[in-house]
Structure 1
């Protein structure tokens, strides 16, 4: 499985060098299906960000996300923490649990100032996975994230985009921000039968609005 190279945020134990470069992306395990698997939807060609500024909300303290809900595409999924391996490559949820999303636990938690990152599989040998329909999201739709401290943070989608894996926008996904943002990442584009991976990444950019 091919994975995303992530920059790590400072923690209580260590400060890891910021890479801000993603050369691959989430790996997919669609190979081995008897019939051609359904292909995930691609974002529309133009998904502009809203023109109005986000509301001036005080940042929340750190608290791990536990559940993500995306009503527009029928997602209600448990969130589990994921880290990075020795090479600085972002881990993904277990392949035998394609229904869960992963939160990059060395970064920002949803609701803090900065960009929180959730990753998820797009499919599995059993069929579509948790983030299969990310490409259907449109600006103005909402994402709700429940946290361990019993708060629920609402984000509004700004834009949805697809990137070749060698052009992954690492600074926009993992980089600093002045507001509370959320980034959802999965695979998309063409499925390469030889490598067993999709060629692109779908990224949803959202901002906290409640």
Structure 2
């Protein structure tokens, strides 16, 4: 007899295992898929018994018939968590404070899977689809913000550092009058250029803030961890 059925009581544990939520927080503080080892073991050993032509207990037969279902949900959850971590981790360090309210909203979309959506719930697909859609939207937002930050803000700030106030003569020295005139002209031109670049940086920053605010309206979790509610208070990002 397979190891999973050496103890008769383990069959009675199936109901408890199926009542588990889809996700849980492990000992290291990470969110993981909460498919109990008992379910995995019973399905695997049921598969072996079927191939041997051995009749299955009714509980195991029911689980085995749902093998594809458990595989689908388990894999969907694994992909969901991997995409979530990949997207959050790729946020540049320089703009992470700006994204903190967004990350709180995004992580809050996982709360249903941690609290009440279980392996027998009919709304598991809705939960996963909603979270996946939010992650994809967040990924697009991160890409756009990174593009603006790198190609417009940082690029312009680097250009501002290269603006020359005055270029000293290499051969014939200037008179005092020429020096004053050239300094005034150089500073005037530099001021115009710096002001132009500053306005472009300001425009880029405003565009980033506008993108983040609009994205906040799209990610609306049903509940928020109360420890982080202050980060997304009304009127904030």
Q: Same fold (TM over 0.5)?
A: no
TM-score (normalised: structure 2): 0.23
Which protein has the bigger helix share? 2
Greater relative contact order (Cα 8 A, min sep 6): structure 1 or 2?
A: 1
Rg larger in structure: 2
Which protein has the bigger strand share? 1
TM-score (normalised: structure 1): 0.24
